[in-house]
Amino acid sequence: MTAPRSLRWRLLAATLVGLGLALVLAGFALQALFRQHVQRQFEATLVTQLDQVTAHLDFDAQGQPRVDTRRLWDPRWERPYAGLYWQIDAVQPAEPRPAVLRSRSLWDAQLTLPPDVLSAGDVHVHAGHGPAGEALLIVERTVRKAGAGDARWRLAVAAAVEPMEAALRGFARVLAASLASLLVLLGLAAWAQVVVGLRPLRALQRGLQDVQHARRARLEGRFPAELQPLVDDFNRVLDQNAEVVARSRTQAGNLAHALKTPLAVIAQVAAAAPPGNEWAPQVLAQVDLAHRQVDWHLARARLSGGGPVPGRRCAVGPVVQGLLRVMARVHGDRAVDMRLEQGEGAPDFAGDPQDLQEILGNLLDNASKWARGVVRVSIGRTDDTASRLRVVIEDDGPGIEAGQLERATARGVRLDESVPGSGWGLAIVSESVQWLGGVLHLERSALGGLRAVVDLPAAP
């Protein structure tokens, strides 16, 4: 069995199946009760008719029964095959003689009574067939004339059951129609209930989408008592996640500090060595390599600690402006003209501002380092359907040779063989960008140097 696609259909199907079964059962039960009731009524009427015929039964001088038909009020007695009959069979004393007397409605036919022995006063009910082959209900009793010895007669009254059956069929039709309408109404009510009942789930779904699309950091708002614990737990997980991120960043920073100061001391010692010392250059080179290793792994640790944090967004302009202020100072010796072009409707970055700062900072630093006099930064949107954030950083420096462009951002590029003109930082940047779900593209700039294009997820 395949899993039902939606909770709503599941609830609705269960409700409808239950309702349907209950209504069908109710229909049968009601029909049976009604039939019982109508049948009893019918029998009671027949017994009344039997009593009437019995009341007007008389015996002549020979002891033969006689019925004063003028005093039987029901006109059907007189109409042939009218569906209401009476008949008197002689049972005793001689051999039985059927139909000694009968109603005019029997015309030339007679009722065939099943063999039966009745004690005095008993009324028995039988099913039988009438002159037209119609189904009949027959009631009979045995009568004897007082003082006429053993002479006994079976007095039977029969009526066609067809009118009763017709009434029952009519009732069944009405009953079925009523129950069907009831089912439809209840179904609609169930549907409304499910829709209203599941509305908080919709709200929850929207909240989760907001979190996923970085519009919110937590699930906002109050939910029904059944959902609130789930929402609270989820928020706790989100909070915990954010806390773990913050903690791992702090730890990464601490590790950096712990390693870098000793490295700086070693570099100082090596640099202070007298000229011509054979160890000093080697030590300095190794310190450099160690520095790169620390940076490389720190960058990775920060990223895996960070990653795409749900619910974060940050404006790109202020981040770039802050970095440009740093560039103006750090590369202040090299009068580089740095300009920021912010396109209309440039989106926000869907993520942590520090991650964006790391990526753009390294690219800007690289551009400023190699630029002859110009660095251009532009913030905009990609043209494709994904409509992502695009930051382009270009310079008029020497650039990277076409054949080396690929290698500058290659995964697992060896730290001691950086591509000339790029620095090993580009490999870190490339990996960071990929981690954040973006792409780093390097190409030749119209300015002459390197053109780095970063596409990153945009906040909706």
Partner 1 sequence: MRILLVEDEPELRAHLHKGLERAGYTVDLADNGEDALHLGDTEPFDAVVLDLGLPRIDGLTVLQRWREAGRRMPVMILTARDRWHDKVAGIDAGADDYLTKPFHPEELFARLRGLIRRAHGHASPLLRCGELTLDTRSGQVRYRGETVALTAHEYKLLEHLMLRPGAVLSRTELTEHLYAQEVERDSNTIEVFMARLRRKLPGLGLETVRGRGYRLAPPP
The binding site for partner 1 (CB under 8 A) comprises: 253, 256-257, 259-261, 263-269, 271-272, 284, 287, 290-291, 295, 298, 302, 322-323, 325-326, 329-330, 332-333, 335, 353-354, 357-358, 360-362
Q: CA 13, CA 252: separation in Å to the nearest integer?
A: 55
Task: Between 332 and 412, name the residue whose CB sits nearer to partner 1.
Answer: 332
Beta strand extents in 211-342 (DSSP E only): 337-342
Task: Between 184 and 265, name the residue whose CB sits nearer to partner 1.
Answer: 265
**∠ at Cα 11 (8, 16), nearest 5°?**
120
Number of separate helices (H) and strands (E) present in the chain: 8, 12
Q: How far is the CB of 213 from partner 1 (least distance, A)?
A: 25
Task: Between 180 and 271, name the residue whose CB sits nearer to partner 1.
Answer: 271
Q: Which two tokens stand for residue 34?
A: 């009604």
Task: Between 221 and 253, name the residue whose CB sits nearer to partner 1.
Answer: 253
Q: How far is the CB of 279 from partner 1 (least distance, A)?
A: 16
Task: Between 287 and 350, name the residue whose CB sits nearer to partner 1.
Answer: 287
Task: Between 57 and 314, name the residue whose CB sits nearer to partner 1.
Answer: 314
**∠ at Cα 50 (44, 52), nearest 5°?**
105
Q: How far is the CB of 358 from partner 1 (least distance, A)?
A: 6
The answer to whether 217 touches 314, Cβ cutoff 8 Å, is no
Q: How far is the CB of 379 from partner 1 (least distance, A)?
A: 16
Q: How far is the CB of 193 from partner 1 (least distance, A)?
A: 53
Residue positions counted in the chain: 460
Alpha carbon 130 to its chain centroid, in Å, reads: 63
Q: How far is the CB of 425 from partner 1 (least distance, A)?
A: 11
Output the DSSP codes for 64-131. Answer: -EEE-GGG---GGGTSTT-SEEEEEEEEESSS-EEEEEE-GGGTT----PPP----TT--EEEEEE-T
Q: How far is the CB of 282 from partner 1 (least distance, A)?
A: 15
Task: Between 355 and 455, name the residue whose CB sits nearer to partner 1.
Answer: 355
Task: Between 193 and 293, name the residue whose CB sits nearer to partner 1.
Answer: 293
Beta strand extents in 133-202 (DSSP E only): 135-144, 152-160
Task: Between 408 and 429, name the residue whose CB sits nearer to partner 1.
Answer: 429
Q: CA 431, CA 423: separation in Å to the nearest integer?
A: 14
149: which DSSP letter?
T
Q: How far is the CB of 298 from partner 1 (least distance, A)?
A: 8
Please name which of 305, 302, 286, 233 lies closest in space to residue 415, comparing C-alpha atoms.
286
Q: CA 189, CA 166: separation in Å to the nearest integer?
A: 35
What's the first-to-final CA gap in the chain, in angstroms?
39
Residue 143 backbone zone (phi > 0: left; psi -120 to 50: alpha; other: beta): beta
**∠ at Cα 306 (305, 312), nearest 5°?**
155
Q: How far is the CB of 252 from partner 1 (least distance, A)?
A: 9
